[in-house]
Amino acid sequence: MALINPDLCNGCKVCLMYCPLGVIRMEGDKAVIDQEQCVECFVCTRKAVCAKKAIFPGAITTKGRELRHFLSDPTETKSATGVPGRGTEESKTNDVTGRTKKGQLGICIDMGRPGVGVWMRDAEKVAMALARVGLNFEECSPLTAVLKDRRTGEIIDEVRNERLLSIIVEGTVPENDFPKVIAALRAVEGEIDTVFSLGVISRVDAAGNAPFLSQLAAIGLAPPLRGKVNVGLGRPLVDD
């Protein structure tokens, strides 16, 4: 974890400007790090922001703090869960992975942001809400790796109270169940102490249409203004 040597700190306050979550603060004339709020992104140590070298990386000794570091430090290529990054490549590689099959919708709930962060207990609330409407959690996902029970969406106790920059809740549902997903998110959104956004991965039909767009209109949601298109040039192409 990131630590500050008070004997070297001269109180210049430069480090305060670099923390993505603003958890470095002044106590008297010395800078200190709020360890409960720190997500172990290591921006302050990796960027060598302290001219006096007062900030240094300490040992990460718990699974929870290790999770914070590997999912919040973008220079890490493999997380403590065995999955690189905070989620999968989603639609960008679907022609090869086949994660979202015909008749399904891929669902990705992107929770938290630099400047805001996310507690795992809030990610659990979303995961549990989606589990109740039948979300099939993505196998290759950091969040799925720390689920206690995929049927309920519960997270293992030792990481429930950890904080990250962001994490993605991912999985698939049958196309016809999309309104249930929206209802579940609307029901839980008031309990979440962070920002989140909904991404939907839809395979177009033979005519090039995405059926879920009509479902959006039916439940009063505007169609998306932007998206990512996978044109299916990868191999092997998965059709089922």
Domain match, 213 and 139 both: yes
Do 35 and 115 belong together in one domain? no
Do 12 and 53 lie in a common domain? yes
84: Cβ–Cβ under 8 A, 6 or more apart, which residues?
A: 76, 77, 78
The answer as to whether 239 is a domain residue is: no
**What pLDDT sits at residue 239?**
60
Q: Is residue 214 located within the same domain as residue 103?
A: yes
Q: Residue 200's domain spans which residues?
A: 90-218
Residue 42, pLDDT score: 92
Output the pLDDT for position 180.
Answer: 96
Residues 110 and 23 in one domain: no
Per-residue pLDDT, 204: 85
- Does 69 map to a domain? no
What is the per-residue pLDDT for 238?
A: 56
Tokens of 221: 């949601």
CATH code for position 16:
3.30.70.20
Is the whole model's pTM more than 0.85, yes or no?
A: yes
What confidence tens digit (pLDDT) does each residue in 74-113 have? 888 776 677 777 888 877 888 888 889 889 999 999 999 9
Asked whether residue 13 falls in the same domain as residue 120, the answer is: no
Cα 137 from chain centre:
14
In a domain, 227, yes or no: no
Number of domains into which the chain is organized:
2
Do 144 and 30 share a structural domain? Answer: no
Query: Which residues are 196's β-sheet partners?
Result: 111
For 31-53, how does the pLDDT look when each residue is reduced to its tens digit (9 = 90+)?
Answer: 999 999 999 999 999 888 999 99
* pLDDT of amino acid 240: 61
Q: pLDDT tens for the chain, 240 residues: list them.
A: 889 999 999 999 999 999 999 999 999 999 999 999 999 999 999 888 999 999 999 898 898 999 999 999 888 877 667 777 788 887 788 888 888 988 999 999 999 998 999 999 999 999 999 999 999 999 989 999 999 999 999 999 999 999 999 999 999 999 999 999 999 999 999 999 999 999 999 988 888 888 888 888 898 888 888 888 888 888 765 566
Q: How high is the pLDDT of residue 69? A: 92
Whether 72 is in a domain gets the answer no
pLDDT at 84: 72
Q: Do 134 and 54 fall into the same domain?
A: no
**97, 35: one domain:** no
